[in-house]
Amino acid sequence: MKRHILFIALLSIYLAVACQPREEQEQISLVTTTVKNVERVLMHEPENYTFFYTNPKAPNELLPLRIPAVIKVNFFQDVPAEENSWLTFTSYGECLSICHAGLLELHLHSAQEINGAGWDHGKFGRGQTIVVE
């Protein structure tokens, strides 16, 4: 009988704690990021890119930016000859050097700036994307 009462008391405490309303979880908002001075564009696959851009704090240093999953890509050939290419992308929250983007907008001088790159699907194969001119 004592065990039965102890079990019910512990179960009641557990349910009281588990069923309490939780604090509102912080919603992750969409963040649009602009990257200027893009020097190199590598397309692994149509939704998988790597970019190299000039570090704003150290002009001689190139930084990589990997975007392995893009839902939609828009290419624009609208950069004047005297300016560098740039891109904007929308992602959930801040990211460092690997970002998953919903929308990627790439502003280039011409489509010839897009270079092919390697890809690897493990046991399903690997290869190299080749730019067709």
- How would residue 11 be classed by pLDDT, with cut points 50, 70 and 90? low
Q: Decide: pTM greater than 0.75.
A: no
19 pLDDT band, cuts 50/70/90, is low
Domain 30-122 falls in which CATH fold?
OB fold (Dihydrolipoamide Acetyltransferase, E2P) (2.40.50)
pLDDT given at position 75: 93
Between 26 and 87, name the one with better pLDDT: 87
Q: Where are the domains of the chain?
A: 30-122
Q: What pLDDT is stored for residue 119 in this prediction?
A: 73
Cβ atoms of 126 and 71 within 8 Å: the answer is no
Torsion of CA 57, 96, 104, 132, to 10 degrees: 80
In whole angstroms, what is the distance from residue 31 CA to residue 93 CA?
A: 6
The CB density around residue 101, as the number of other CB atoms within 10 Å, is 24
Name the token pair of 77: 């050939």
Q: Helix, strand or coil for residue 12?
A: helix
Query: Rounded CA gap, 104 and 102, in Å?
Result: 7
Quick one: which of 94, 78, 115 has its CA closest to 28?
A: 94
Q: What is the pLDDT of residues 81-122, one digit of tens each?
A: 999 999 998 887 777 777 778 889 999 999 889 888 877 666
